[in-house]
Amino acid sequence: MQRSLTRVVAGTAAMIGIAAGSFALAAPATAAPRTAVVAVTAVNNLGLTQNQAKGVQCFLDGSIYGNFVIDGYLGTESWKGIQRWLNNEWGQNLSVDGAVGPQTIKGLQYFLKYGNWGYTGALDGVAGPETQAAFARFGASTFNQFC
């Protein structure tokens, strides 16, 4: 009980310290784990250049899937559009949450494979070099066509 309370107090102190612009760490004697601040970014271009990402955004713009700023940064709203598009046009069953997790990557890989973008790998949900290269080909092509 004491240890749990110490962790709660240390965690709360850490959050207050971070909010105030400094780091607050639990004292080593409390045996509470040290916390690290990890910046969460909502942009995930999966290796695409800004123009390639714009191509993806331009492709979806003006459709029921495009509800975002075309800026070359695939953020949460761009990924929601991609997820909706993969669901409706490619028969995927993805959560439309804007998160680029393994299921979204699998859906993207399915499209890149069967949409003839040169992806020949497994539908494994890992955005490795082959997935990124095929996505880059798609982004470059759509930039040239739609932007």
CA dihedral for 113, 119, 120, 125, sign (positive or negative): negative
The model scores a pTM over 0.85 = no
Band the pLDDT of 62: cuts 50, 70, 90: confident
Band the pLDDT of 5: cuts 50, 70, 90: very low
Q: What is the pLDDT of residues 70-125, one digit of tens each?
A: 999 999 999 999 999 999 999 999 999 999 999 999 999 999 999 999 999 999 99
CA distance 144 to 59: 10
What is the rounded average pLDDT of the residues 11-29? 37
- pLDDT for the residue 67: 81
CA distance 92 to 28: 48
Per cent of the chain over pLDDT 70 is 72
Helix (H) / strand (E) containing 136: helix 129-146
Inter-helix orientation angle 76-90/102-114, to 10°:
50
Among 78, 81, 79, 75, which residue's Cα sits nearest to residue 40? 75
